[in-house]
Amino acid sequence: MVFTEARLSKGPSELLKLFDIVPGLEREKKQFDAFLQIDLAHLVMLVEQRILPAEIARQIFPVLLEIRSKGVEALSMDPDRGTLLLQVEGALASRIGEDIAGQLHTGRSRIDQGATARRIYKRAGLLKVMKEVNRLQRSLINLADQHAETIMPTYTHMQQAQPGTLGHYLLGIIERLQDDFERCVEVFARLNRSPLGAVGLSGTSWPLDRDRTAELLGFDTIVVNAKLGREAFYAAEIGAALSFIMATINDLACDLHLWSSIEFGMILIDDSYCTTSSIFPQKRNPIGLETVKFHAGQSVNWLGTALSTFRGEGTGDQNLRTVPFLDEAFIKAAGMLALFDGMVQTLQVNKDRTHELLSTSWSTASNLADVLVRHHSISFREAHHVVARLVKICEDEAILPLGVTPDHLVRAAQQTIHRDLHMSQNDLLLALDPDEFIRTRISAGSVSPAEVQKLLSADKASLAGNEAWVADSEDKLNAAESKLDRAVQRILG
């Protein structure tokens, strides 16, 4: 009989099927492999714990394995029957009878099975995103290595602030991605806990071995408190972690978008990530960057959406724990990381232009202030006044940095701190030279070539650790899958 007939006098309405049951089935169909894994692991444990005889399991296993091998599309779906668990149970019952098939659900609830399937599915999605983070990190490291000494302006308030290097800038993005990766590692630890065996809310009288099913399904541990088995607050953490990733690549996309304009002309996005205009013949539009920015804009709602989904927490509503938007969030995050990786690998940098932008600016003014402090026994604030007035004098008189003279400095000092400050022409120009600025930075994490190399080495080591972590995690999951297959075959004989 249909699952609900024993308790309900009517089947689900067409509208209920349309807006709840069918959408739920569509979500669960993506988790089909996880559902079958859980069925197999649960049945192995039931036999090992002597809850079910091996003879019963030997009737169920072959049909489960056949259903798994044929895939979800071969499974006949009947919305009247309900969720995917019941669709599989119905397929089993049609082959071996409900008296045998129904024993698979001993010591289990749809609550803990569904919660376990969602964790397995999201675990795979998170690992995929983490691999894409690593891929982008590697491409950015390669680009930063190539441009460790490519001098360029840096900006605050969209005004040139100081000279920097493209390599140093990219290393900042890489370190943010490292924080994003580590955030995912922390989330993964809480995600990779098995709720299977929590049953409803209060546990069960059956002597389940929850650690065994956790082992066979690749979980690190179990969700200990049975009441928490159905909870999905990890989904909010995933939403936050993915949003941080999107924020990082959005910031990079915004800068590259600006630098690719004719006015800046610092970089060129490859043709394969651009489109043209239907009216402006000269244009090549960097649509790849705009695509990243568009999807990153949507990601700001991911955490809020997850938390608002849990708004009815106290009622125990099962649907409040499914957070379906995460499926799309995984796709978008992994996709935008991969798209960006392609743009980074093909990015062209105009070194002459980045240097040219500095040659006509006063971005080294802070260095001149430091030189005045060192050699003239004045405070930094006094030096700041002098250099600020020097820049104003030169701009008012249309004098570029290369044209400044000691007389200009004397005038600026007299007008601000009411004393004479003297420097040679050579020392003055050297203090304003962008290349000298880069060379003389000595603080940790600065743009000096030596510090950039230290940052590069640290980021390469972090990436190696990241890649090892992902590989180890995947190896553990593959080993668990093999262990499950062997356990099934042992029972089958």
Average pLDDT over residues 153-175: 97
Statement: residue 321 has pLDDT above 70: no
Whether residue 442 is contained in a domain is answered as no
Selected residue with higher pLDDT from 17 and 373: 373
Residue 472 is part of a domain; what is its CATH number?
Answer: 1.20.200.10
Residue 316's pLDDT is: 61
Residues 147 and 191 grouped into a single domain: yes
Residue 284's pLDDT is: 96
Whether residue 20 is contained in a domain is answered as yes
Residue 309's pLDDT is: 80
Pairwise CA distance, residues 83 & 241, whole Å: 30
Q: Give the tokens for residue 198.
A: 């929590």
Residue 230's pLDDT is: 87
Mean pLDDT, the chain, as a whole number?
A: 95
Radius of gyration of the chain (CA): 31
Residues 409 and 338 grouped into a single domain: no
Residue 178's pLDDT is: 99
Residues 155 and 173 grouped into a single domain: yes
Instruction: Convert the pLDDT of each residue in 222-247 to its tens digit.
Output: 999 999 998 889 999 999 999 999 99
Residues 227 and 259 grouped into a single domain: yes
Statement: residue 296 has pLDDT above 80: yes
Residue matched to tokens 């250099």? 387
Average pLDDT over residues 156-182: 98
Tell how strand 151-156 and strand 348-349 pair up: unpaired
Residues 25 and 173 grouped into a single domain: no
Cβ pair 134, 126 in contact under 8 A: no
Let me know how long the chain is.
Answer: 493
Selected residue with higher pLDDT from 4 and 267: 267
Closest alpha carbon to 489 in 46, 95, 58, 88: 58
Whether residue 196 is contained in a domain is answered as yes
**Which of 417, 432, 447 finishes a domain?**
432
Whether residue 441 is contained in a domain is answered as no
Pairwise CA distance, residues 283 & 261, whole Å: 11
Whether residue 381 is contained in a domain is answered as yes
Q: Using alpha carbons, list the distances in angstroms from residue 80 to 6, 86, 318.
A: 13, 10, 19
Residue matched to tokens 């180890």? 472
Q: Give the tokens for residue 445.
A: 């994490």
Average pLDDT over residues 349-366: 95
Residues paired with 275 in a beta bridge? 285
Whether residue 438 is contained in a domain is answered as no
Cβ pair 107, 206 in contact under 8 A: yes
Statement: residue 129 has pLDDT above 80: yes
The whole-angstrom distance between residue 120's C-alpha and the CA centroid of its chain comes to: 18
How many separate domains does the chain show?
3
pLDDT-derived band at 396, boundaries 50, 70, 90: very high
Cβ pair 188, 123 in contact under 8 A: yes
Residues 58 and 154 grouped into a single domain: no
Q: What is the 3-state secondary structure (H, E, C) of the chain?
A: CCCCCCCCCCCCCHHHHHHHHHHHHHHHHCCHHHHHHHHHHHHHHHHHCCCCCHHHHHHHHHHHHHHHHHCHHHCCCCCCCCCHHHHHHHHHHHHHCHHHHHHHHCCCCHHHHHHHHHHHHHHHHHHHHHHHHHHHHHHHHHHHHHCCCCEEEEEECCEEEEEEEHHHHHHHHHHHHHHHHHHHHHHHHHHCEECCCCCCCCCCCCCCCHHHHHHHCCCCEECCCHHHHHCCHHHHHHHHHHHHHHHHHHHHHHHHHHHCCCCCCCEECCHHHCECCCCCCCCCECHHHHHHHHHHHHHCCHHHHHHHHHHHHHHCCHHHHCCCHHHHHHHHHHHHHHHHHHHHHCCEECHHHHHHHHHCCCCCHHHHHHHHHHHHCCCHHHHHHHHHHHHHHHHHCCCCHHHCCHHHHHHHHHHHCCCCCCCCHHHHHHHCCHHHHHHCCCCCCCCCHHHHHHHHHHHHHHHHHHHHHHHHHHHHHHHHHHHHHHHHHHHHC
Residue 312's pLDDT is: 64
Residues 186 and 282 grouped into a single domain: yes
What angle (nearest 5°) sits at the alpha carbon of residue 194, between those of residues 193 and 198?
A: 130
How many other C-beta atoms are found inside a 10 Å radius of the C-beta of residue 207?
9
Residues 94 and 208 grouped into a single domain: no
Statement: residue 320 has pLDDT above 90: no
Range of the domain at 64: 14-110+484-492
Residue 315's pLDDT is: 61
Q: Give the tokens for residue 197.
A: 């065996």
How many other C-beta atoms are found inside a 10 Å radius of the C-beta of residue 471?
11
pLDDT-derived band at 1, boundaries 50, 70, 90: low
Average pLDDT over residues 398-417: 97
Residues 178 and 243 grouped into a single domain: yes
Pairwise CA distance, residues 73 & 32, whole Å: 10
Pairwise CA distance, residues 286 & 289, whole Å: 6
Whether residue 3 is contained in a domain is answered as no
The whole-angstrom distance between residue 90's C-alpha and the CA centroid of its chain comes to: 39
Residues 307 and 425 grouped into a single domain: no
Whether residue 200 is contained in a domain is answered as yes
Instruction: Convert the pLDDT of each residue in 418-475 to its tens digit.
Output: 999 999 999 999 999 999 999 999 999 999 999 999 999 999 999 999 999 999 999 9
Q: Which amino acid is at 434?
A: P
Residues paired with 277 in a beta bridge? none
Residues 52 and 152 grouped into a single domain: no
pLDDT-derived band at 324, boundaries 50, 70, 90: confident
Average pLDDT over residues 409-414: 97
Residues 319 and 247 grouped into a single domain: yes
Residue matched to tokens 């807006």? 19
Statement: residue 373 has pLDDT above 70: yes
